[in-house]
Structure 1
Amino acid sequence: MILAIDIGGTKLAAGLVSDDGALVTSRRVATPQSGDAEDLWTALTDLIEPLAAGVDGVGVGCGGPMVWPSGEVSPLNIPAWRGFPVRSRLQALFPGLPVRLHNDAICVAAAEHWRGAGQGSANMLGMVVSTGVGGGLILGDRLIDGGTGNAGHIGHVIVEPGGVPCGCGGRGCLEAVARGPGLVEWALAHGWTPGERTSSEARPYREDREVTARDLAADARAGDAVATAAMRRAGRALGIAIASATHLCDLDVVTIGGGLAQTGDLLFDPLEEALREHARMDFAKRVKVVPAALGQDAGLVGGAALILAEERYWLGHPPVGVERR
């Protein structure tokens, strides 16, 4: 049984995953927002303590950037942790056991390849489209890490040269165009009035809460022109990026998960349109783009895969002081 951990900016999740990839049990708590590194660590240890007895290893997914594979993390959405040695801290809690950590989007990709929508594909890109855009790359039935563990980071492929600024310091990145908060910002700047199409006396739109991509998608489905244009812009950006990745990597399948993927045809129809316009080489035309299958459990299943299927997802990087099994 593997203890799997998924560290995110809004929630911390932990669960037990059996050797066939099934999530047996899980727990979740809100990520502390105090700004104190030790408060966050205490919340994590309190979360995993009821699950810790008798486990055979620990697999972790966490947002980046990070020093990999040593596991000092500085997640952009968790300001409290800058260079925080989460992997070595966990190794101290579980001496003698394998403790492995990777980027959270890479864990999701591994999960979808191992037990989700990418099963049976030897060449796959797994994507997460939510508050950010991340990915993981499987080629030849194995996770490709790259020199620093960041291979597959499709969120920073340029889709609009000279376009909107991105948090990475560049301009026109896929993440800047297609992430949920970016879509909302674009729509508001182009005259979208949230809730105009979907509010009613029975379900009024509350102006005192944060506007989200879910609100945008609801208005788009109700026929709001600006909201529809925003969703179309995101979908087409994704299609262009996937076409480029397919030409580069000769992909069979691309899986897309994350909150924005739940909008269905609002995102996938313009994505397919742009993909087929730009994937012109014969070998690239065969790529299929499908919704991810594992939902919110994917990060935990992928964390466990770093240990349970190490021959595919943890190649050549055994933990310090622990021999490969």
Structure 2
Amino acid sequence: MHTDLVAALDIGGTKIAGALVDGDGRILARAQRATPAQQHGETVMRAVAEVLGDLAGSPLWGRARSIGIGSAGPVDASAGTVSPVNVPGWRNFPLVDRVRAVTGGLPVELIGDGVAITAAEHWQGAARGHDNALCMVVSTGVGGGLVLGGRLHPGPTGNAGHIGHISVDLDGDPCPCGSRGCVERIASGPNIARRALEHGWRPGPDGDASAAAVAAAARAGDPVAVASFARAAQALAAGIAATATLVEIDIAVIGGGVGKAGDVLFAPLRKALTDYAALSFVQRLTVVPAQTGTDAGLVGAAAAALARTPDVPAASR
């Protein structure tokens, strides 16, 4: 029986998931609540406390030695606060202190959700065995995280690797983040769909105007849908190549809903990458789909907790 056991929370705008996870990444107990995203911040915290309460009801809870939290961002791991864009009641919300209080003082490790998925992919997914990797989540937004020198690299605030907000189009559209021409403004699901609609693509009889519907149209050969994915692929390639040039990653892993589009995305992405990743030391860069599924956020939060709380006391580290 594995003695390593941690609690994990995966906090997003739709759901708050919790689990007890062992040192091999197996989920041994779970709990979940819907995120009351538009409610008062204390109401959101109550849902978090209920998830932790469910986990505490497990006979395994007594063995949990720390808690890992992967949260929608931005997060500030140095301050222990979160300000998720789609949870307006939480602005600089002291999540780490509150979770510590609810759980009787267990150590808490906070990272952004992109970093959490990176931790999961490095531990159990497509980046396994790679010491230098970029993992991306391409869905409603574009997030990511880095593994450098064999270790997760969350950065001081827990947001390092946030590739969605690298500018790849100098005079591009204003991005809600305040910059211009960001990867996310071109390559996220809603922006792929927006571009297709602006250029004359029309949804089928079901009215589905999502990026998944655009992907289906692209697979069927619709030129506007194909072009919208090609543009997204170009933005992703530019961001990935910039990252590889800066820190020498040798693999980029793409997950999230848009990452499931398959060849419609990956074929133009690999082609565009040969244009942007031209220097000798980035030419071996590979791009692959993510392997960890819907539990990636929980598994990654657990990985961060396990990595940061070795059995030696903190004082002697």
Instruction: Give the TM-score taking structure 1 as reference length.
Output: 0.89
Figure out how many residues of one structure are paired with residues of the other and give that number. 306
Q: Paired residue for 2:46?
A: 42
Which one of 294, 297, 300 corresponds to residue 299 of structure 1? 297
Change (3 A) 1:246 1:311: farther
Match of 1:144 among 153, 158, 177: 153
Cα drift, residue 38 of structure 1: 1.6
Using the TM superposition, give the Cα deviation of residue 45 of structure 1 relative to its aligned residue in structure 2, in angstroms: 1.7
1:162 aligns with 2:171: yes
What secondary structure sits across from 1:286 in the alignment?
Answer: coil
* Residue in structure 2 matched with residue 269 of structure 1 by the alignment: 267
CA 91–147 in structure 1, closer or farther in 2 if over 3 Å, else same: closer
2:68 matches 1:59:
yes
Q: What is the Cα deviation at residue 29 of structure 1?
A: 3.2
Q: CA deviation at 1:323?
A: 5.5
Change beyond 3 A, Cα 1:74–1:148: same
- SS of residue paired to 1:21: coil
Q: With structure 2 as the length reference, what TM-score do the two structures score? A: 0.91
Instruction: Give the distance between the partners of 1:171 and 1:131, measured in 2 at CA.
Output: 18
Q: Deviations over 1:78-128 (max 9, x none)?
A: 112111111110000123421111111011111111221111111111111
- Secondary structure in 1 aligned to 2:143? strand
RMSD: 2.0
Pairing partner for 2:91 from 78, 82, 94: 82
Q: For residues 270 and 132 of structure 2, what CA distance do their matches in structure 1 show?
A: 19
Q: 1:124 to 1:49 in 2, by over 3 A?
A: same
- AA partner of residue 173 (structure 2): V
Q: CA deviation at 1:324?
A: 7.7
Single out whichever of 247-256 and 39-48 deviates more from structure 2: 39-48
Unpaired segments ≥5 residues, structure 2: none
Name 2:281's counterpart in structure 1: 283
Distance 2:78 2:214 in 1: 38
The answer to whether the 8 A contact 1:69-1:102 is kept is no
Q: What amino acid sits opposite 1:278 in the alignment?
A: Y
2 CA distance for matches of 1:140 and 1:33? 37
Match of 1:315?
Answer: none
What is the match of residue 121 of structure 1?
Answer: 130
Residue 141 of structure 1 deviates from its aligned partner by 0.8
CA contact (8 A) 2:237 2:270 kept: yes
Match of 1:178?
Answer: 187
CA–CA distance in 1 between the matches of 2:121 and 2:37?
Answer: 30
Q: CA, structure 1 residues 115+92, in 2 after alignment: closer, same or farther (shift >3 Å)?
A: same
| Post-superposition offset of 1:238 | 0.7
Match of 1:16 in 2: 20
Whether contact under 8 Å (1:124, 1:252) holds in the other structure is yes
TM superposition shift of 1:68: 2.0
Deviations 1:10-54 (A, max 9, x none): 222111111112223333333214421122111222223221232
| Alpha-carbon distance between aligned partners in 1 of 2:227 and 2:315, rounded to the nearest angstrom | 53
Structure-2 separation of matches of 1:273 and 1:83: 41
> Which residue type is aligned with residue 271 of structure 2?
E
Aligned counterpart for 1:131 among listed residues 124, 137, 140? 140
Mapped to 1, the partners of 2:119 and 2:24 lie a distance apart of 14
User: Match of 1:231, SS?
Assistant: helix
SS at match of 2:115: helix
Instruction: Quote the offset at 1:311 in angstroms.
Output: 7.7
User: Following TM superposition, by how much is the alpha carbon of 1:220 offset from its aligned partner in structure 2, in angstroms?
Assistant: 1.8
Task: Provide the residue aligned with 1:202 in structure 2.
Answer: none
Structure 1 residue 70: Cα displacement: 2.7
Counterpart contact for 1:258–1:295, Cα < 8 Å: no
Partner SS, residue 49 of structure 1:
helix
| Aligned residue type for 1:294 | T
Contact 2:18 2:298 in 1 (8 A): yes
8 Å contact kept, 2:37–2:86? no
- C-alpha separation in 1, matches of 2:262 and 2:89: 34
What amino acid is aligned across from residue 255 of structure 1 in structure 2? Answer: V
SS of 1:160 mapped into structure 2: coil
1:29–1:47 contact (8 Å) kept in structure 2: yes
Contact 1:162/1:172 (8 A) holds in 2: yes
Which letter maps to 1:3?
A
- State yes or no: 1:243 paired with 2:247: no
Q: How does 1:24-35 map to 2 (within 5 A)?
A: 24-35=28-39
